[in-house]
Chains A and B, each alone.
Chain A
Amino acid sequence: MTKILYSDDLTACFSAWRKEGTKVLGPVQQAKTSGFGEVQDAKELDLDLVLTDRTLKELFFPRTEPMLSYSIGKQQIDTSEFLPSEHPCIIFGARPCDAAGMAIDDELFNWDYRDEYWFRRRDRSVIMTIACKESDDFCMCTSLGLAPDSAKGSDILLRPLTSGKGWQVEELTPKGSKALLPIASLLKEGTEEAAPTAEVPVLFDLEACTTWLANPENFESHFWKEISERCIGCGTCTYLCPTCHCFDIQDEGDTYEGIRRKNWDSCSFQLFTMHTSGHNPRNTQSARWRQRIMHKFNYFSDKFSVHSCTGCGRCTRECPVDMGVRETLQAISTLPK
């Protein structure tokens, strides 16, 4: 016997949560792209998508956010902080690869110094993931040791029923269980079977890759230039990656008042590491591509014991010139160590 949530009851669940003062967000079509938006009725959701175009990370790390405002006088400076509200919210229907990305970034945003902007949003949110029945040509979660029904980063895992009428409900964290209390009466006990999860073929040998990347001799390999020859150095892969977290800090305003913002940035951009002196440690696109791969599959894992990638495939799916980490890792796994 497992807890079952029927899709017919979903809108009622949303109402129950909203009555408690909790916002509900889910995957929606937003004028030509899909992302996460606030919903009131279940029919606003698009749960048939293999994966939303935009990632879950935007809910915790917006593409631009005001951090501080400043107001300068001769004798003093007044600042106020734009700390995110603690208004609770439930994210219904994220994919396991997206949720895993959030858990990965938790480690970074808490590395000795805690980023309150990230954690206030994380702490107030409950993530309910739906296991994937389908995948597309770009999915590669299994290559990263994850799966279409991975639990990482999720509070509640919903497994679609074979009947298509709803989901089995699997409680993963105390936070998740607590979130089910307001809808307890809407959950049924049942024995309905869950549909099999998507078959996602493993596309490369991750361990072979990490061994190659960890070898200092390969840092200077000609491979980097060859594999990144067509990269045009935009920020698409970075911005649509659930784990990429690099940012810029920019002041907008004048000498008297303004706002200090945290904005997305990308190591693919030419100016990312440019010194004021004019020296740029990563002056070629191949050096920048190498940084991207090394950071995700060597440096990050070196510090946090997990790679900075969940195999969601967006980098390849969205890249204007069909790059993405997949081709690089497939190529590396065939190279001699």
Chain B
Amino acid sequence: MAEVKRFDNRLGLWGWLGGGRWGIERYAYILHRLTGLGILAYFLMHIVVTSLRAKGIYLWAGEDAILAKPIFKVGEFLVFAAFAYHAFNGLRLVFVEMGFAVGKPIEPIYPYKTSLGVQRPLFIAMMILAAIFFFAGGAEFLGLVK
């Protein structure tokens, strides 16, 4: 076949953000990636910081500690929130990607019901659990519970 000139029409990173279409599972996927990256970035630093305790250095403990400053405390809470979301959404993904929550193949009759509708209750349940964790952590962060 003769070489035909063409234009590369891939959406690129804009495609990760929906490219114009928005579904809740797609938001969930984007947020899962963002929280994962955030937790990983924190975790790599966390390993180094907590390993210093073997030398008796506790950078986070006590009121004068570097890591007790408010900005770091807020950052820690964000990591906690990211974990709450990532963990429960991840649990949903384990069920879904093992074929448990997507339903059996059906005969498609219009208007089509997809597997997204079948796993939606699981999604909502997981988000409720994540919200409970989030608010509990928030209450402690704000000092509402001692």
Do the two chains bind? no
Which residues does A use to contact B, with CB under 8 Å? none
Task: Report B's interface with A, CB cutoff 8 A.
Answer: none
